A and B are shown apart, each in its own frame.
Chain A
Amino acid sequence: MDAVSYPSGVRGASHGRRLVILWLVISAIATPLAVIFLGREIPPGNASEQATEQVFDNQVLLGVATPVCVLVVLFLVYALVAFRARSAEVVDGPATRGDSGIQIAWVVVTTVTVLTLAGFGTYQLLQSGSGGGQGPTAAFLPSDHASAMDVQVIGQQWEWTFRYPTYGGVETPQLMLPEHTLIRLHVTSLDAVHSFWAYQLGVKADANPGEDNIVYVKTKGPTSFEIHCAELCGLFHGYMTDTGQVVPSAEFAGWIKQQQAYFAPVMRYLPPYSTTYLPDPQHRAG
């Protein structure tokens, strides 16, 4: 069967040329718009250095994703308009079975893009772990990690409590952090797997029983942040929410004194500070 003539009157390669030009033009307009306007709105915001890093990552990914999205959608729309069969009877299209040039170009371009993205992601991750839980031995350390302030996050069904080892191991029901400080969060659990998600700080780390999960986060100015549980942990998973605060250092010092005073009676019963706790009883006796 011969190649068919096109009702639109456009022949051969000029369809391809037209598509590529359209793609370049639309991408050149859409990508900066997406990155600047949409990218700015992308959470989690700027409450911590890690959150800012994540926003930057998302902007870069958005910049890469936009032209890809434009290409496929444009291709579909163009094909639907230009190549729709117009006769009721069934006519065959041209018997093209491939084009090694296009195939090689596609493989090269996608591979380079993917490797670049993976390299970029790795570089970003190396800075400080990007606010993700890194387990007991963190591989991605911020440069000033030696001076970080330790705070322990203890998950249990269904509540978060917090311990401050540098303040006598006092335990509190609220999370307060001093501003402009590098914090080393130690996330652990007493029972099921939880996930500590301090949304505005860009922090997420699973709370595992018997495991210490370390997160580095550097706070900025005073703010408040939502805390959620991001791993299904049973009946009240959805209610394991809380509000934490980043406050000026003086206010933090006052608050921690207050906590030490109020919880003094229970201090003698607390186990010594440790990275993990495996309390008894596992099963109720008797």
Chain B
Amino acid sequence: MSVDPQATRPLWRRIVGFNAFAAVVLGIGGYYLGWYIGHHLDAVSLEYFADTDQNDVSVFLGYFFGVAGFLIGLGFLNYPFARLRGYPPSLREKETRGLGRYFGLCTDHKVVGIQYLVGIGLFFFIGGLNAMLIRVELLRPNEQVFPAGQYLTLVGMHGTMMMGIMSSAILGPFANYVVPLMIGARRMAFPRIESLTFWLLMAAGAILTTTIFFGGFPTGWTGYQPLNDQANAGMDSYIVFFSLVGLSMTLLGLNMIATIVTMRAPGLSWSRLPIFCWGVLSTATLMLLAAPVLIAVLSMAMLDRTAQTTFFIPSQGGSQYLYENLFWVFGHPEVYILALPGFAIVLELLPVFSRKPLWGYRLAVTGLLGVTLLSWLVWQHHLFVSGINSDLRPFYMLSTELISIPTGFTFLCGLMTIWRGQLRLTVPMLFCLAWFFNFLIGGLSGVFLSDVPSDVTTHGSFFSMAHFHYTIMGGLIFTFFAAIYYWIPKMTGFQLNERLGKIHFWSMFLAFNSTFAPLFAVGFLGQPRRVVTYPDHLQFLNDWVSVSAFVLGLSMLVFLGNFVYSLVFARIPAGANPWESRSLEWQLPSPVPVHDFDRIPVITGDPYDYGEAAPPTAVPAPAPAAGGG
């Protein structure tokens, strides 16, 4: 065992430097600097701020300077400055050893993957907590636990946090960790950008939580105008949050596409690419192209709120339709950014636990790409009753229903993969099988919403809310957990407890359905979304949902308990390939060594050759002596 030079340094020397601690200090300092400048800007009409006790310019400047300080503290400027000053290129960030590397800029894709998992988990926890508080409020039709404004903030924060942070739920932790291993690369195409996407997301999440100090925001995650222009300074947190998330998503997508297109190992042709990588590629394409639209529309909202442009104020020549259209041009691909990684995880894991090749590989790929393409053509189904040109309604009804064709491909390929297989009902497999049921209900309710006559009643009601929880929570979060149970042994080298995992699965699956299935009825019976009060006769259903939601929340704590118990206390080594998968990442030791592959492998087939008398997937080069790579 060699002595780690980092560990022998005095404590203060380890704390002072470019790391998360410095980032937080510089971030807070930057915020106050921006806030100070904003308060002394004469360029902005003071009349606008007269008597409002609210200066949006200083809030925005505070956030921007804060983010800049945060990134400087992490050391994102070190490399460009060093290059400007003529130093040779370096990947020194990757060399950091010990726990410290998780608290700073690290270009090791495995470290970024674990950073993502923990960071996203934290904000998922906060978003879930919001949901619990919402359900506490809805236990009674009328009395208020939270004042009406705070309730709207809860709803908005829950939605925004989940949609924003969880967009990267699969691509952040798992694609970053696994894609290079699957394609036989030692790193992502842009390692520093990879780290930047993570830290931007963390800055964004922290900024959204600070909305409480500015009076919250009343608009929900959609941020509709002109309510958005009208709102308290808490709205600024929403705008900066979603802009940073959009930036993070754009860069993440760009990085994924570049990596998969350019860095595949020799022999890894497109028809041998693991289906998970195809799913990542589809999602990344949507991220790269959709998220900039979000940044653009939020920049316009920011200008409305600060420079008094009137993009979205009808009486001044603006239009709320402009916002609605631009938002949903991002917003509909966004929901497939959430759904597609789930498809990919299911199709990737089913062969492993069915001991069969992926059935209909080409059809599955076609399905993923078909959804990617069609998701651009459906956004106005969110605007069926908005008063937008009604001639286009049949088209959007058609295009929306057409999406069920490529989605059906995923169902067919997944179901036919388990047909006549040797099914092993491990925890990840259970989560994948649950996906079929959840997404089936979500998809079928989506057909009701896409049918205009039916949508007239269900639009904006709890029916649509139940629908997208079935597709996003049932589709994304279930597969998120499948991925955690599947890949954690590879990422940490330790098993997660199977029994606790099964308790987690069954409590989550039953509580999830018990929570959201009644909400279809609640919506059909006339309860609009985001209301703090509802008709008395709906109280029984709402109470049922609330209690189920609390059980759902508890099931998450079972997972957390399992996670901590298995990784901190039990620490049972998992071995290199506990699932006996044929995929390339499982041919490496667990946890994966720093340099991934000692020799770049040569790929000779796809990773789904179960039951075939085929040669091994990868031909590893002769094992090198210690210190190779």
| B and A form one assembly | yes
Chain B's nearest CB lies how many Å from the CB of A91?
Answer: 5
Cα of A83 to Cα of B429 in the assembled complex, Å? 14
Instruction: Find the B residue at minimum CB distance from A88.
Output: B424
Known A121-B451, A237-B530: A72·B415 in contact at CB below 8 Å: yes
Q: Which residue of A6, A85, A234, A237 has the most chain B CB atoms within 10 A of its CB atom?
A: A237
Instruction: Find the B residue at minimum CB distance from A4.
Output: B422
Whether the pair B461, A230 counts as a contact (CB closer than 8 A) is: yes
A208: chain B residues within 8 A (beta carbon) = 314, 320-321, 386-387
The verdict on A24 contacting chain B, using a C-beta distance below 8 Å, is no
**8 Å CB interface, B209-257 against A:** 218-220, 222, 224-227, 230
B452: chain A residues within 8 A (beta carbon) = 121, 124-125, 130, 132
**8 Å CB interface, A214-243 against B:** 226, 228-239
Please tell me which one of the listed residues B48, B218, B433 contacts residue A80 in the complex, with CB atoms under 8 A apart. B433
**Complex interface: stretch among B34-42, B75-83, B608-616:** B608-616
A210: chain B residues within 8 A (beta carbon) = 314-315
B388: chain A residues within 8 A (beta carbon) = 135
Whether the pair B433, A97 counts as a contact (CB closer than 8 A) is: no
The verdict on A9 contacting chain B, using a C-beta distance below 8 Å, is no
Please tell me which one of the listed residues B359, B390, B457, B609 contacts residue A204 in the complex, with CB atoms under 8 A apart. B457
**8 Å CB interface, B575-629 against A:** 580, 609-613
Whether the pair B447, A61 counts as a contact (CB closer than 8 A) is: yes
B401: chain A residues within 8 A (beta carbon) = 114, 117-118, 121
The verdict on B148 contacting chain A, using a C-beta distance below 8 Å, is yes
A61: chain B residues within 8 A (beta carbon) = 447-448, 451, 454
> Contact mask A1-19 → B, CB, 8 Å, 1/0?
1011010000000010000
Cα of A232 to Cα of B222 in the assembled complex, Å? 9
Whether the pair A132, B408 counts as a contact (CB closer than 8 A) is: no
Cα of A97 to Cα of B421 in the assembled complex, Å? 12
Known A1-B612, A282-B313: A43·B526 in contact at CB below 8 Å: yes
Known A1-B613, A103-B363, A209-B320: A132·B455 in contact at CB below 8 Å: yes
Whether the pair A234, B457 counts as a contact (CB closer than 8 A) is: no
A132: chain B residues within 8 A (beta carbon) = 384-385, 390, 393, 452-453, 455-456
In the complex, how many residues of chain A place their beta carbon closer than 8 angstroms to a beta carbon of chain B? Answer: 97
B363: chain A residues within 8 A (beta carbon) = 98, 103
Cα of A232 to Cα of B559 in the assembled complex, Å? 34
Known A83-B421, A203-B456: A57·B451 in contact at CB below 8 Å: yes
Chain A's nearest CB lies how many Å from the CB of B436?
Answer: 6
The verdict on B528 contacting chain A, using a C-beta distance below 8 Å, is yes
The verdict on A266 contacting chain B, using a C-beta distance below 8 Å, is no
Known A91-B422, A122-B394, A232-B224: A133·B610 in contact at CB below 8 Å: no
B447: chain A residues within 8 A (beta carbon) = 61, 64-65, 117
Instruction: Find the B residue at minimum CB distance from A85.
Output: B422
Please tell me which one of the listed residues A106, A203, A232 contacts residue B529 in the complex, with CB atoms under 8 A apart. A232
The verdict on B354 contacting chain A, using a C-beta distance below 8 Å, is yes
In the complex, how many residues of chain B place their beta carbon closer than 8 angstroms to a beta carbon of chain A? Answer: 95
Known A136-B387, A193-B227, A228-B526: A117·B451 in contact at CB below 8 Å: yes
> Contact mask B516-557 → A, CB, 8 Å, 1/0?
000000001110111111110000000000000000000000
Instruction: Find the A residue at minimum CB distance from B464.
Output: A230
Cα of A247 to Cα of B455 in the assembled complex, Å? 27
Chain B's nearest CB lies how many Å from the CB of A46?
Answer: 13
The verdict on A28 contacting chain B, using a C-beta distance below 8 Å, is no
Chain B's nearest CB lies how many Å from the CB of A286?
Answer: 9
Whether the pair A130, B526 counts as a contact (CB closer than 8 A) is: no
> Contact mask B420-433 → A, CB, 8 Å, 1/0?
11111100000001
The verdict on B444 contacting chain A, using a C-beta distance below 8 Å, is yes
Q: Which residue of B149, B385, B421, B533 has the most chain A CB atoms within 10 A of its CB atom?
A: B385
The verdict on B405 contacting chain A, using a C-beta distance below 8 Å, is yes
Q: Which residue of A58, A96, A111 has the most chain B CB atoms within 10 A of its CB atom?
A: A96
The verdict on A162 contacting chain B, using a C-beta distance below 8 Å, is no
Known A83-B421, A103-B360, A278-B314: A69·B444 in contact at CB below 8 Å: yes
The verdict on B402 contacting chain A, using a C-beta distance below 8 Å, is yes
Chain A's nearest CB lies how many Å from the CB of B366?
Answer: 9
Please tell me which one of the listed residues B225, B386, B437, B609 contacts residue A72 in the complex, with CB atoms under 8 A apart. B437
Cα of A95 to Cα of B405 in the assembled complex, Å? 26
Cα of A72 to Cα of B404 in the assembled complex, Å? 14
**8 Å CB interface, A72-97 against B:** 72-73, 75-76, 79-80, 83-85, 90-97
Known A54-B453, A195-B385: A84·B405 in contact at CB below 8 Å: no
Cα of A69 to Cα of B440 in the assembled complex, Å? 7
Cα of A124 to Cα of B355 in the assembled complex, Å? 47
**8 Å CB interface, A101-156 against B:** 102-103, 106-107, 110-111, 114-115, 117-118, 121-122, 124-125, 129-140
Whether the pair A238, B533 counts as a contact (CB closer than 8 A) is: yes
Chain B's nearest CB lies how many Å from the CB of A282?
Answer: 6
Cα of A92 to Cα of B614 in the assembled complex, Å? 13
A238: chain B residues within 8 A (beta carbon) = 148, 528, 530-534
Chain B's nearest CB lies how many Å from the CB of A205?
Answer: 5
Whether the pair A94, B611 counts as a contact (CB closer than 8 A) is: yes
Top 3 closest A-B pairs, CB basis? A238-B531, A213-B387, A210-B314
Between A and B, 23 residue pairs with Cβ closer than 8 Å are A42-B524, A54-B457, A57-B451, A58-B448, A61-B451, A72-B415, A79-B418, A90-B355, A95-B356, A95-B609, A96-B416, A97-B357, A97-B361, A110-B408, A118-B394, A132-B390, A195-B460, A205-B387, A209-B226, A211-B387, A231-B460, A237-B530, A238-B533
